[in-house]
A and B are shown apart, each in its own frame.
Chain A
Amino acid sequence: MNISVAIDAVPQDALPSASEAGPAPKRVVVAYGFWIFLLSDIIMFAALFASYAVLVHSTAGGPTGAQLFNQKTVAIETACLLVSSYACGLMSLAINSRRYLRTYLGALITFALGAAFLTLEIREFANMIAIGATPERSAFLSAFFTLVGCHGLHVTLGLVWLAVMMVQVAVMGFDATVQRRLLCFSLFWHALDIVWVGLFTVVYLMGVSP
């Protein structure tokens, strides 16, 4: 017993602390490992953000962000991802209370909004490429397509993952393994939304504001 425990002497301290209680449950270990992965993923995004910030003015006489970006599209994309993240949260509540219908409904909304986001982004890219603003045009556009495209790729993988998870729920039910995977998925999806917050601020809003 150390001194602080004796001084505090709150009833909770009668329980063994985490370090004395042996290995943590698998749910905690798995989610913590996935948390570390997400942080490393965010560090990779930080490197892409840094290269974008360095190259944003290197347009080589080509189009600038203010000429290319459409704020209305970005606002709709942001709304899609935000509500999708909320629906994902509601889905994880349904998973915890083991309700199939609500889980499927939450997953459906999450998937539909994620797909809507992706459609808008692909259409935006296609429009840009159609007017000659391709990644080869300038260093700015290379950095832009790498950064935003990498986020879009993550969203695509998230959608595939969500579809696979719903099949697993249908086949295996709310198995402990399935629940752990769904927890990791919801972490992934919320983290993508956090990356998007940085993205729409740095790329789109700072790009168009005077």
Chain B
Amino acid sequence: MTEARYDRAPGDRPSREMQASAPSPLFVYTTGLFLAVLLTATSFWAANTSLLWPGGVALGLAVLAIAQMGVHLVFFLHITTGPESTNNVLALAFGVLIVFVVVAGSMWIMADMSQNMLMPSPAPMSMQMQH
């Protein structure tokens, strides 16, 4: 029974028996650390530099953060696209969907609402209150 193709626990690395070409785990963690440090340093540089167009800095920071989250997921949490980790990836995809809906939806609705609130009303407040 041990050779059955079970799903892999999230956080577990693919075993070397299953995948002979799998790199050494220490190398995986160290690569992850290296990439994460690189992305973090770039983020801090981008936030403080005056070389970039200021409007693009926020976008660049968002891209760098998402890239670093990806690095953490792949190198530290060992989330792969292999068939034995399909369940983990599907759960993650659903989580990301909800996160996106919550964050983008809230910001969209609230921005819309505050725009409506700030709009100069054609009639004085007392007129509207009569309705």
**Chain A contacts for B25, CB-based, 8 A:** 93
Task: List residues 28-63 of chain A with CB under 8 A from any CB of chain B.
Answer: 28, 30-32, 34-36, 39-40, 42-43, 46-47, 49-51, 53-54
Question: B110–A18 contact, CB under 8 A?
Answer: no
Q: CA–CA, A90 to B87, complex, Å?
A: 25
Complex CA–CA separation, A43 to B33 (angstroms): 25
Contact of A42 among B32, B76, B95, B105 (CB under 8 A): B95
Report yes or no: B62 in contact with A201, Cβ–Cβ below 8 A: yes
Residues 158-210 of A at the B interface (beta carbon under 8 Å): 183, 186-187, 190-191, 193-194, 197-198, 200-202, 205-206, 208-210
Distance A202 CA – B106 CA, assembled complex (angstroms):
15
Chain B 62-80 interface mask (CB, 8 Å, partner A; 1/0): 1011001100110011000
Question: What interface size band does chain A fall in?
Answer: 35 or more
Per the bound structure, the CA–CA distance linking A117 and B7 in Å amounts to 35
A16 pairs with B69, CB closer than 8 A: no
In the complex, A32→B7 CA distance in Å? 9
Answer whether residue B91 sits at the interface, using C-beta atoms and an 8 A cutoff.
Answer: yes
Contact A89 B65, CB 8 Å, known A187-B11, A205-B43 = no
Residue of B nearest to A45 (CB): B99
Q: Which of A21, A24, A25, A197 contacts B69 (CB 8 A)?
A: A197
A79 to B39, CA, bound (A): 12
Given known A-B contacts A22-B1, A93-B29, A197-B68, A206 and B61 have beta carbons under 8 A apart: yes
Given contacts A85-B76, A89-B29, A190-B72, contact A197 B9 (CB under 8 A): no
Between B10, B25, B37, B77, the greatest number of chain A beta carbons within 10 A of the residue's beta carbon is seen for B10
How many B residues touch the partner, as a band? 35 or more
B131 within 8 A of A: no
Is A67 interfacial (CB-CB < 8 Å)?
no
| Chain B residues whose C-beta falls within 8 Å of the C-beta of A127 in the assembled complex | none
Considering the complex, which residues of chain A in the window 59-103 have a beta carbon less than 8 Å from any beta carbon of chain B?
71, 75, 78-79, 82-83, 85-86, 89-90, 92-93
The answer to whether the Cβ of A12 comes within 8 Å of any Cβ in the partner chain is: yes
State whether the Cβ of B116 lies closer than 8 Å to any Cβ in chain A.
no
Q: Which residues of A contact B102 (CB under 8 A)?
A: 43, 46-47, 50
* Given A27-B9, A46-B103, A198-B69; A208-B98 close (CB under 8 Å): no
Q: How far is the CB of B26 from chain A (nearest CB, A)?
A: 7
- Cβ contact of A90, chosen from B26, B46, B58, cutoff 8 A: B26
Q: Does the CB pair B94–A39 fall under 8 Å?
A: yes
Contact (A17, B5) CB under 8 Å given A194-B69, A201-B43, A206-B58: yes
In the A-B complex, the 6 residue pairs with the closest CB atoms: A21-B4, A31-B9, A39-B95, A50-B106, A201-B65, A205-B47
| Sample of 8 further A-B pairs with CB below 8 A, known A35-B10, A197-B40 | A24-B7, A39-B94, A190-B11, A190-B77, A191-B77, A197-B72, A201-B43, A201-B62
